[in-house]
Amino acid sequence: MKTQNATQAIHPAIEARNKNHKIRICLGSSCFSKGKQSNLEYIEQFLKEHGITEEVDFAGHLCIDKCSSGPNIEIDGIMYSEVDPSKLEQILNSVFAKA
C-alpha cells in the first residue's frame, strides 16, 4: 500500500484543476435507466485505451434536470444529450483528436 505524508498529498480539487479535460456524467435515476452505466463504462475504457486517464478529470454529478433528454454528459463545458455508446464514440474521438 502506498502512503503519503501531509506535504505529499494533493487535494482533489487542486488535482482536478491540473487536468486538461473535464468530463461529468449525470448520475440521476433517469439517466441511469436510459443507459448511463454503459456510457460510464465506455468512457472509462476509452480513457484507458488512449492512455489519457491522468489528463482527464472524470466524475459524476447530480441530476441536472434535463431528464427528458438523457443520458446527459458534459465535456469541457459542453453538454451532450441523448448520449449512447455510438454517439459517445464520435464525441470522444472529436474532443480528444484536438488534444
Q: What percent of the chain has pLDDT over 70?
A: 80
Question: Does some domain include residue 9?
Answer: no
How many domains does the chain divide into? Answer: 1
Tell me the whole-structure pTM to 2 decimals.
0.76
How distant, in Å, are the alpha carbons of 81, 94, 97 from that of 52?
Answer: 23, 14, 12
- Crossing angle of helices 36-49 and 85-97, rounded to 10°: 30
Question: Does some domain include residue 30?
Answer: yes
What distance in Å separates the CA atoms of residue 38 and residue 40, rounded to the nearest whole number? Answer: 5
CATH code of the domain covering residue 74: 3.40.30.10
Per residue in 9-54, pLDDT tens? 443 444 445 678 999 999 888 888 887 788 999 999 999 999 999 9
Question: Does some domain include residue 4?
Answer: no
Q: Domain residues for 70?
A: 19-97
Closest CA to 22 of 79, 77, 71: 77
How do 78-80 and 73-75 pair as beta strands? antiparallel
